Amino acid sequence: METILKTVDLVKYYGDGESQVRAIDHTSIEVENGEFVAIVGRSGSGKSTLLHMLGGLDRPDSGEVMIGGKNIFSLKDEQLAVFRRRKIGFIFQDFNLIPALNVWENIILPLGLDGKKVNRDFVMDIVKSIGLSEKLKSLPSQLSGGQKQRVAIARALASRPAIILADEPTGNLDSKTEMEVISILKTCVRKYGQTLVMITHDETIAQMADRVMIIEDGKVVR
């Protein structure tokens, strides 16, 4: 199988001296194309920092992040932004939908930013998959937490990225909705042949992944 994501000796420290926090400490991981990987760790273990670096949101002190064979930190900020909207789909814990845009607009937002024409059939298919066909004109403020996260999933899928990064996607949801959202996420990823890296502190959720990585004190221990 082809390696879609690879980190090489990734380092990110905060602060100096005694107060230094080793958020990511010489971490190297690999993710195969089409794989669903869960990164599990306690609060403060460095999992969010790792995900931010995988997505090119934050730059490491040293090391590389290769996506599709390209070291993303060799790109300038503007190039990195373009790379993100084309190759990476994000799903955040608190949904991060644009309040002024309706469901449809939120979903096609990455395509709009890229100046691409919307493949209506493809996006409608995603919308059907997440079960929000009736809510396309609704504004985020009218949606439940689960519905908002489903919109975020659709947004991540819409631009057919190389990899989807999910940061505690069920962290703000109740247990019933949590399972529902994770099921939809997993189904969609399979359906559209996407690679998914999800960070979570919930072992039960993690068990739904193809592979689980455990992170402690900035190091992947398993």
Per-residue x/- mask for other proteins, residues 123 to 152, rule CB under 8 A?
--------------xxxxxx----------
What is the C-alpha to C-alpha distance for residues 192 and 179, in angstroms, rounded to an integer?
20
174 contacts other proteins (rule: CB under 8 A): no
**Near other proteins by CB under 8 A: residue from 14, 28, 71, 98:** 98
Q: Which stretch binds other proteins (CB under 8 A): 1-9, 108-116, 194-202, 207-215?
A: 108-116
Token pair in block for residue 141? 């403020």
Query: Which of 92, 186, 208, 217 contacts other proteins by CB under 8 A?
Result: 92
162 contributes a contact to other proteins by CB under 8 A: no
User: How far, in Å, CA of 142 to CA of 115, rounded?
Assistant: 28
DSSP letter string over 176-194? HHHHHHHHHHHHHHHHTT-
Binding to other proteins by residue 58, rule CB under 8 A?
yes
Residue 139 CA: distances (Å) to CA of 13, 84, 101, 203: 40, 25, 6, 33
Contact with other proteins (CB under 8 A) among 11, 21, 75, 101: 101
Euclidean distance between CA atoms 128 and 69, whole angstroms? 33
In the list 2, 16, 18, 78, the residue contacting other proteins (rule: CB under 8 A) is 78
Q: Does position 86 bind other proteins by CB under 8 A?
A: yes
From 46, 55, 63, 218, residue interacting with other proteins (rule: CB under 8 A)? 55
For residue 75, the tally of other CB atoms under 10 A from its CB is 15
Q: Does 102 bind other proteins (CB under 8 A)?
A: yes
Q: How far apart are the first and last CA of the chain?
A: 20
Using CB under 8 A, pick the residue from 118, 179, 208, 212 that binds other proteins.
118
81 lies in the site for other proteins, by CB under 8 A = yes
How many CB atoms within 10 Å of residue 138? Answer: 15
